[in-house]
Structure 1
Amino acid sequence: MIQILIGSLVLSVLHALIPSHWLPFIAISKTERWPLGRTLTVTALAGLAHTLSTTLLGMIVGLAGYEISESYHELAETVIPAVLLMLGLYYLMQHFRHAHAHTHVEPRDMAGRSYGALLLSLCLAMFLSPCIEINAFFLSAGAIGWQALTLVAVIYNVVTLAGMLCMVTLGVYGLQRVNAHWFEHHEHLITGLTLIGLAVLNLFLEH
């Protein structure tokens, strides 16, 4: 149980800190000259759409874990680390191929739209871009039961939304002056290494 909560927390923090989850909102707010309140409102609604779709997908995955709950120890010792490891290797491969995924919002595509159209477009873009990394922990939590599954969902939603709002607030007050290109360029590397580290952690805690 502890490795599930730790893994969910780590991935949720990483998820919120990735520039593609907050930098576009800062860029759009600057272009549209939005006050901080409106920027945070848009970020919260779009972020909620994003975490909602990820949670819905995670609950479906969690049901699969629930169906094989009698094999939880085998699941925790072999399947979950293997899934995390494969995801980690996938992101490392994407990094070395110089592919840029996880770009939920492209600010240039939003230029010239009304506030309502912007809000709808941002929410739709985020809803249709669920993050799959957390699903390994939804699967593992589902094998334990609904309480664990709910905890993972709460951790993911609260930490991700809070992190996005914090980063946007900091960005509005000057963090955008820091060149985030390095983080964007190495997003897959960071994610991949984190997932591999969590796979190792999961094995260590289970043994």
Structure 2
Amino acid sequence: MNGLQLLLITAATLGFVHTALGPDHYLPFIVLSKARNWSQTKTLWITFIGGVGHISGSVVLGIAGVALGISVNKLETIESYRGNLVGWMIIAFGALYSIYGIYKYLKNGGHTHLPHFLVPKKIRELHHQAITENEQNKEDNTKLTPWILFLIFVFGPCEVLIPLLIYPASQHNTFGVFAVSVIFGAATIITMLTIVLLGYKGSSLIKIKNREKYLHLVAGLMILVAGLGMQFLGW
């Protein structure tokens, strides 16, 4: 087994491990797919596009850094800075989405604890209208949320990829740089898709009455926790 073959095996292994151990790679897609009633196909497409953005950012940085003669330490420092930035981005997104979840909860009648006959007629009508709208619009078609996820993942670093690119680049092996990028990227994206699919299928088995009232809030809180864990616990 030559050096390049060993490097490709390492790239595939690290692509799988760094993705599986990072909840931020798949948790947002799973919880948002349920909160926004995305279909399985739409969920996987958004995950795929997010994964491509995630890999592309680090690949471009790594190749550009090698071409410009930037040291590995400096490239890893840049990736660390990007990791810090994306951690705060996820925290901000989770916090804002939690606020949106509270708004949706209240709008859907989550604040009403009185018996039905004691609730004012206008509030009952608004509540009924909100439920009707939820039933009619089963799948959310908002384009903003997927783009926010894509932007966050473009900034997301792949620290383990940079050292892998150095060896073939130092050997002036263009094919090696390309092969490492493709293998690492494929392993990362396939792992993301697999975990998101399992999470999507698994969450579909959980039946909760009136879950529409608080799904957005739960999604926002889970993303917020993932961001806090990434930022302060090194997830």
SS in 1 for 2:143: helix
How far off is 1:63 after superposition? 2.7
**What displacement does 1:62 show?**
3.6
User: Which residue of 2 is the match for residue 43 of structure 1?
Assistant: 47
Alignment-derived partner of residue 137 in structure 1: 164
**What is the aligned partner in structure 2 of residue 75 from structure 1?**
none
Alpha-carbon shift at residue 50 of structure 1 (Å): 0.9
Q: CA RMSD in A?
A: 3.7
Q: Which residue of 2 aligns with 1:23?
A: 27
Where do 5+ consecutive residues of structure 1 fail to align? 68-78, 91-98, 192-207
Contact kept, 8 Å, 2:88 with 2:231, in 1: the verdict is: no
Counterpart of 1:136 in 2: which secondary structure?
helix
Residue in structure 1 matched with residue 187 of structure 2 by the alignment: 159
Partner of 1:115: 142
Superposition deviation, residue 104 in structure 1: 6.7
Unaligned runs of 5+ in 2: 102-139, 207-224
8 Å Cα contact 1:20-1:104 kept in structure 2: no
User: Quick one: structure 1 residues 122 and 190, their matched pair in 2 at CA, closer, same or farther if it must change by over 3 Å?
Assistant: closer
* CA shift digits 1:51-73 (9 cap, x unpaired): 111111121234367x9xxxxxx
Matched pairs, number: 162
Offset at 1:135?
0.2
Name the CA distance, whole Å, in 2 between partners of 1:166 and 1:175: 14
Deviation for aligned residue 1:187? 10
The reply to whether residue 59 of structure 1 matches residue 86 of structure 2 is: no
1: CA distance between counterparts of 2:157 and 2:57?
A: 6
Shift in Å at residue 109 of structure 1?
3.5
Where does residue 124 of structure 1 map in the other structure?
A: 151
Question: Max radius of gyration: which structure?
Answer: 2
Question: Aligned with 1:127: secondary structure?
Answer: helix
Provide the residue aligned with 1:9 in structure 2. Answer: 12
Q: Distance in 1 between matches of 2:39 and 2:231?
A: 29
Normalising by structure 2, what TM-score?
A: 0.56
